[in-house]
Amino acid sequence: MNKKHNLFPYIRRIAFSNSLDTCITLFILLAVFLLSTITIKWLLFGADWAVVIQNYPLYAFGLFPADQRWRPALWLLLLISLTIITLVGPRWRWLRKLLPITWIGVIPLGIVLLSGGLGLLPVASRYWGGVTLTIFLTTCSSLLAFPLGIILAIGRQSDLPLIKFFSSIYIEALRAVPLIAILFFGQLLIPLFFPIGVEINRVIRAVLAFTLFVSAYVAEDIRGGFQSIPKSQEEAAKALGLSKLQITQFVILPQALIIALPALTNQAIGLLQNTSLMAILGLVELLGISRSILANPLFIGRYMEVYVWLAGIYWLICTVMALLASHLEQKVTIEKLTIKN
């Protein structure tokens, strides 16, 4: 079908098929037009972007010492280039094989680059902030929550009543409580549960709190995966003489993970957004540093600009994460198909 030739009837079919549709379409077009003119006018003429432009380093790296800023910058750059390489899909097989290892290795590398050591000047975690801290919290917490969630999910499916009981209690309790309460606990109450003198770094406590919270949700997602696998598979594996552990490890878990993959990536995106809650509890991640900037007498009242800027950044990061996730899903399904064939 020649689309160009049939453009008019095509538009007519999709947007003006009856009178009600026509009304809706015209109304939407009008609203979109008005809204976009107002927005563009504000973006170009109304807004004062000094609050954004003068504080780029703060948004990106927080209070990281100026002469050491290349370290978080390098880490972020590495993450960006890895993302691009993964999305484009390199031509060379060796590079493709290297990718998963690089993705896992990028996290310890980030810790070393941020905290120092190995010949780098040590930088205490209180200087971490901005986008760097947001991404750090997200990657570390998801990396820790993933295995913990798997263990909890297996625990909940277990035949051993006590273990099942403990896992269920944990999962249900954490899912019933709002995240901010757990973060409050992690920031202000955890020290009460440790002997005086034992001090756990504040960022680590935030990572722990996020991990505890997210792992309960991850466990539920994976359990959903478990339940969608037919019982016959387990019986077949048993007939082959595999032990219970082997069945979980080689038969059930890989399939459950593939089924749970979309839900899991949604958890990761949700986690990134939820790191903004730390702004209420005093960490200077992206939203927190922005609130501090807004308190500077020079920039008081420039809420609109900052919020629009922040929304843009969060939207960009989340969209990139969603793209990566759908890429991963495609890849996994293709691999599954090739195995079947």
Of 114-133, binders to another protein (CB under 8 A) are: 124, 126
CB of 16 to another protein, least distance (A): 9
What is the Cα–Cα distance from 160 to 166, expressed in whole angstroms? Answer: 10
Q: Minimum distance between the CB of residue 45 and another protein, rounded to whole angstroms?
A: 17
Query: Site residues for another protein, window 232-271 (CB under 8 A)?
Result: 269
Interatomic CA distance for residues 82 and 77, integer angstroms: 8
Instruction: Count the neighbouring beta carbons within 10 Å of the beta carbon of residue 119.
Output: 6
Among 44, 45, 119, 159, binds another protein (CB under 8 A): 159
Place of tokens 């625990």: 155
Contacts of 22 (CB under 8 A, 6+ apart): 15, 16
Q: Which two tokens stand for residue 223?
A: 């359990």
10 or 100: CB nearest another protein: 10
User: Between 95 and 291, whose beta carbon lies closer to another protein?
Assistant: 291
Q: What is the pattern of x (binds another protein, CB under 8 A) and - over residues 278-297?
A: -xxxx-x--x-x-xxxxxxx
Contacts with another protein by CB under 8 A: the residue count is: 79
Q: Binders of another protein among 74-113, rule CB under 8 A?
A: none
Between CA 200 and CA 314, with CA 69 as vertex, the angle to 5 degrees is: 75
Nearer to another protein, 48 or 235 (CB): 48
304 binds another protein (CB under 8 A): yes
Nearest distance from residue 269's CB to another protein, in Å?
A: 7
Q: Which stretch binds another protein (CB under 8 A): 77-85, 86-94, 106-114, 170-178?
A: 170-178
Among 227, 319, 330, 333, binds another protein (CB under 8 A): 319
Question: In the 8-state DSSP scheme, what is residue 250?
Answer: I
DSSP state of 133: H
Answer yes or no: are the C-beta atoms of 148 and 141 closer than 8 Å: no
Residue with Cβ nearer another protein (56 or 90): 56
Q: Which of 322, 324, 328, 332 binds another protein (CB under 8 A)?
A: 322
How far apart are CB 276 and another protein at their closest, in Å?
Answer: 4
Task: Assess contact for 227 and 266: CB atoms under 8 A.
Answer: no
Q: Which span (73-81, 245-253, 257-265, 305-313) binds another protein, by CB under 8 A? A: 305-313
CA gap 158, 168 in Å, rounded: 11
Residue 27 or 250: which CB sits closer to another protein? 27
Q: Distance of CA 287 to CAs 133, 174, 280, 290, 294, Å?
A: 11, 25, 9, 5, 11
Please answer whether residues 221 and 264 qualify as being in contact, where contact means their C-beta atoms are separated by less than 8 angstroms. Answer: yes
- Measured from the CB of residue 43, what is the shortest distance to another protein in angstroms? 14
Give residues 176-215 in contact with another protein (rule: CB under 8 A). Answer: 176-181, 184-185, 187-199, 202
Please state, in angstroms and as integers, the Cα–Cα distance from residue 46 to each residue in 9, 40, 290, following that order.
Answer: 41, 9, 20
Rounded to whole angstroms, the Cα distance separating 257 from 260 reads: 5
- The minimum distance between CB 318 and another protein, in angstroms, equals 4
The span of 109-117, 140-148, 230-238, 311-319 binding another protein (CB under 8 A) equals 311-319
Site string for another protein, 40-79 (x = CB under 8 A): --------------xx-xx---xxx-x-------------
Of the candidates 178, 183, 171, 275, the one whose C-alpha atom is nearest the C-alpha of residue 221 is 171
Do 71 and 114 meet the contact criterion of CB atoms below 8 Å apart?
Answer: yes
* Residue 136 in tokens: 């750090």
Which 13-32 residues touch another protein, going by CB under 8 A? 14-15, 17, 21, 24-25, 28-29, 32
